[in-house]
Amino acid sequence: MALMKSWVESANSADTEFPLNNLPYGVFMTADDEAHCCVAIGDMILDLAVLEDDGVISVTDEPVFDLPFLNEFMDAGKPAWDALRARLMDLLSEGGDDTLRGDAELQSIAMAPRVGAEMAMPFVVAEYTDFYAGRHHATNVGTMFRGAENALPPNWLHIPIGYNGRASTVVVSGTDIIRPNGQLKGPGDEVPRFGPCARLDIELEMGAVVGTGNAMGQPVSVAEADDMIFGYVLLNDWSARDIQAWEYQPLGPFQAKAFGTSISPWVVTKAALEPFRTSTPAREEPLLPHLQEPGPMLYDIDLAVTMRPEGAKTETVITRTNYNQMYYSSAQQLCHHASSGCAMNSGDLLGSGTISGPEKHERGSLLEISWGGKEPFTLDSGETRSFLEDGDTMTLKGAAKGEGYQIGFGDCVGKILPAVKV
Ligand code: MN
């Protein structure tokens, strides 16, 4: 797949994350301080509420874009997503429909510079589920806690393990994260105490955004699940490792992951990622038929994480990996989620699980990079880290690389603020 040329010149650069091939959806604050649905094209934001109001685009009888969330559009389903994408391609391509290209006044109302624009949460998160579906991450963590012989739990190769997280604390990139307080009990402590997390971590993940749901009691196939997914975001599943260690048995993480989850401002559609489809790795144990994939369900997306301490001039790349390292795809996770009859809804967010590659420089959490704090790493500023300090800024980056173009998500950024005094 090659670059598709747009009359918006900045969209034709090999460096932009937002060529015509991408057209990711988001929500931005207009000059009048209203939240409108939009797409990114090169250095610009295209206000879909303006185009809809002018009758240039249309999805349903009711307006779906003059809203502070994408859920109404997502709920309209795949035929509506495909039709709007085709219409926007036509309006923005070099030689397409000139309704917008030929109307400077409409452009001045419907388009705004992307740099400096304030982005809001792109959709209302109905519910948030997080998985544990990265083979290298699960092996690393399991080795640290249970030894190499018992690294993977017995169910791991048969089901994508997950837990129900909190939708209420999923936030858009740029939102500060306050260090959580929690109950802590170290290996040498006789009794637990309450205080600030001392082993604060990130998890590099992708988030699948569910566009259309299933009825309660009605499971879906992997292929149907894939059609229900609207798109993907970068996701940082902030984690308090010391709180987690004390609380996690027997029901899994609770407060350790409930204080903040950051997502990128742009939802990249599955349509934009189609050329980058790739398969999950060979199965070590055959999957039961209902979880088998009918085709490639993962995507080839380069991922990186940078860290910048307070006052440091530069950010240090601390890991580089790829989404293709996952053992289970989001479609398999969604199929598994609905397999009992659990109803999934438009706006549900599925965290992939931490994405780590096989090598040390490909690990997707500080827990793994510093091997439980035993191997601190050095930043370009000369400072060392095992876990996050107050003032640290963490940035997730992701891009699918085509020939002469790339599909990006916008950075997923969060800065750590000191804990609330207790
Ligand atoms: Mn996670």
Q: Do 112 and 152 reside in the same domain of the chain?
A: no
Q: How far away, in angstroms, is 310 Cα from ligand 1 center?
A: 25
pLDDT at residue 170, as a whole number: 98
pLDDT at residue 133, as a whole number: 95
Q: Do 99 and 181 reside in the same domain of the chain?
A: no
Structural domain includes residue 4: no
Q: Do 169 and 187 reside in the same domain of the chain?
A: yes
Long-range contacts of 1-6, Cβ-Cβ distance < 8 Å, separation of 24 or more:
1/275, 1/402, 1/403, 2/402, 2/403, 2/404, 2/405, 3/402, 3/403, 3/404, 3/405, 4/89, 4/93, 5/93, 5/94, 6/41, 6/42, 6/92, 6/93, 6/94
Total structural domains in the chain?
2
Q: Do 30 and 141 reside in the same domain of the chain?
A: no
pLDDT at residue 58, as a whole number: 97
Q: Give the model confidence (pLDDT) of 356-379 as tens digits.
A: 999 999 999 999 999 999 999 999
pLDDT at residue 310, as a whole number: 97
Count CB-CB contacts under 10 A for residue 86: 11
Question: Does 298 have pLDDT greater than 90?
Answer: yes
Structural domain includes residue 2: no
Q: Give the model confidence (pLDDT) of 172-190 as tens digits.
A: 999 999 999 999 999 899 9
Q: Do 191 and 92 reside in the same domain of the chain?
A: no
pLDDT at residue 1, as a whole number: 84
In angstroms, the Cα distances linking 216 to 222, 242, 341, 342, 343 are 17, 37, 5, 6, 4
Question: Does 156 have pLDDT greater than 90?
Answer: yes
Give the predicted TM-score (pTM) of the model: 0.98
Question: Does 200 have pLDDT greater than 90?
Answer: yes
Q: Do 95 and 190 reside in the same domain of the chain?
A: no
Give the residue-averaged pLDDT of 38-48.
98
Domain boundary among the residues 85, 120, 155 is at: 120
Q: Do 208 and 336 reside in the same domain of the chain?
A: yes
Q: Give the model confidence (pLDDT) of 107-117 as tens digits.
A: 999 999 999 99
Question: Does 324 have pLDDT greater than 90?
Answer: yes
Residue 91 in 3-state DSSP? Answer: helix
Question: Does 383 have pLDDT greater than 90?
Answer: yes
Q: Do 96 and 136 reside in the same domain of the chain?
A: no
Q: Do 256 and 373 reside in the same domain of the chain?
A: yes
Q: How far away, in angstroms, is 30 Cα from ligand 1 center?
A: 33
Domain boundary among the residues 70, 89, 120 is at: 120
Structural domain includes residue 1: no
Question: Does 145 have pLDDT greater than 90?
Answer: no
What share of the chain has pLDDT > 90, as a percent? 98
Q: How far away, in angstroms, is 41 Cα from ligand 1 center?
A: 31
The contacts of residue 397 (CB under 8 Å, 6+ apart) are: 234, 303, 304, 305, 306, 408, 409, 411, 412
| Residue, of 228 and 422, whose pLDDT is higher | 228
Give the residue-averaged pLDDT of 130-152.
94
Question: Does 246 have pLDDT greater than 90?
Answer: yes
**Pick the catalytic residue: 137, 158, 290, 336?**
137
Q: How far away, in angstroms, is 184 Cα from ligand 1 center?
A: 20
Q: Do 258 and 291 reside in the same domain of the chain?
A: yes
Name the residue range of residue 91's domain.
9-120
**337 in active site:** no
Q: What is the mean pLDDT of the chain?
A: 97
Q: How far away, in angstroms, is 56 Cα from ligand 1 center?
A: 41
Quick one: pLDDT band at residue 35, thresholds 50, 70, 90?
Answer: very high
pLDDT at residue 272, as a whole number: 98
Burial annotation 25-51 (CB, 10 A radius, 16+ → b, else e):
bbbbebeeeebbbbbbbbbbbbbbbbb
Domain boundary among the residues 65, 99, 120 is at: 120
Supply the CATH number for residue 65's domain. Answer: 2.30.30.230
Distance, in Å, from the CA atom of 362 to the CA atom of 240, rounded to the nearest integer, reads 21
Q: Do 285 and 364 reside in the same domain of the chain?
A: yes
The contacts of residue 147 (CB under 8 Å, 6+ apart) are: none
What share of the chain has pLDDT > 70, as a percent? 100
Supply the CATH number for residue 194's domain. Answer: 3.90.850.10
Give the residue-averaged pLDDT of 56-63.
96
Q: How far away, in angstroms, is 115 Cα from ligand 1 center?
A: 30
Q: DSSP characters for 291-329? A: G--SS--EE--EEEEEEE-TT-SS-EEEEEEEGGGBSS-
